Amino acid sequence: MLNSLDSLVALDIVIPWAFAIGLNAILVAIAWFAPKKLLTPAGLVHAGILGIILWGTLGWRGYSVMMFYFLVGSAVTRIGMKQKEAAGIAEKRSGARGPENVWGSALTATLCALGAYGLASAPFPWSRQVIFLLLLGYVASISTKLSDTCASEVGKAYGKRTFLITTLKPVERGTEGAVSLEGTLAGIVGSAALAIVGWLVGLITPMDILWCLIAAFIATNLESVIGATLQSKFDWLTNEVVNIFNTLMGAIAAIALALAFQAVT
């Protein structure tokens, strides 16, 4: 009897990962032969690895949130592409993502997913609460990244007046650390949409949507400050590294807001 139970437990662990490998292999193959490339060949491989991890740890709920980011983020990147390419401010490779883009956007979320998965069967009395916070961090980090993508791409395409965030002096579109009203509003809409998806699939609560919104706004503007003040001074501080800081700040801010709210209620 014990051996049978052990076998069932093993199947419960193996089947989601096996399904994740099969699903992502199929999606990578489809994307590989698709006429419009959203990812480079290496980016496809890394996206497949990311997809396996997310489905294996969080199932379809976590996977759908990341897919929403990828599809919307890719679409937003292509807004005004010809205009942005003519001005020299478009994403490289016409917006096709490489491995550095995949992990720059999703490293924080992946760590949150792995943490929640690791604690799922832990016997600690505090593990359930930590899992809730890690799931919030997962959604908030992706919400922050979509906010950043929408703000940057819409701002570069449609920003009528662009200001450097540290001085509020007018600058050209695409300048590191530049912000615009159009981009800021697009960022808020993007973060709200992603957070709502996270709530609809059951990863976060309705109140957590607010924390994601505030955290994304804070982190996106802090990223602009980094871009305006530090990025040009350090060669290692690439856009992808800044994206990691951006998503990490978003996750930490959302978790801190949730804990602060719990403490006063």
Which tokens go with 14?
């193996």
CA-CA distances (angstroms) from residue 218 to 91, 141, 188, 208? 23, 12, 11, 15
Confidence of residue 94 (pLDDT cuts 50, 70, 90): low
Q: In the prediction, which pLDDT does 1 show?
A: 41
d(CA 110, CA 192): 21
Residue with tokens 């540290």: 166
What are the distances in angstroms from CA 14 to CA 4, 8, 9, 17, 25?
15, 10, 9, 5, 17
What pLDDT, on the 0 to 100 scale, is given for residue 97?
82
How would residue 86 be classed by pLDDT, with cut points 50, 70 and 90?
low
Higher pLDDT, 9 or 130: 130
Higher per-residue confidence, 138 vs 239? 138
Can you give the pLDDT at residue 88? 63
Q: Which residue has the higher pLDDT, 224 or 37?
A: 224
Mean pLDDT score of the chain: 89
Residue 37 pLDDT grade (very low, low, confident, very high; cuts 50, 70, 90): confident
d(CA 12, CA 6) in angstroms, rounded, equals 10
Strand partners, 39: 97
Q: For the segment 47-73, what is each residue's pLDDT rounded down to a tens digit?
A: 999 999 999 999 999 999 999 999 999
Q: At what angle do helices 239-264 and 127-158 cross, to 10 degrees?
A: 130
* Region 212-219 average pLDDT: 97
Identify the pLDDT of residue 114: 96
At 178 the three-state DSSP class reads strand
Partner residues linked to 170 by β-bridges:
163
Residue 98 has φ and ψ, to the nearest 5°, of -105, 180
Query: Given a cut of 50, is residue 7 above it in pLDDT?
Result: no
The mean pLDDT of 165-181, rounded to a whole number, is: 87
pLDDT at 6: 44
d(CA 253, CA 77): 26
Q: What's the first-to-final CA gap in the chain, in angstroms?
A: 47
- Taking alpha carbons only, the member of 138, 154, 14 closest to residue 83 is 154
Which element (helix H / strand E) includes 142?
helix 127-158
> Secondary structure of 51-111 in the HEC alphabet?
HHHHHHHHHHHHHHHHHHHHHHHHHHHCCCHHHHHHHCCCCHHHHCECHHHHHHHHHHHHH
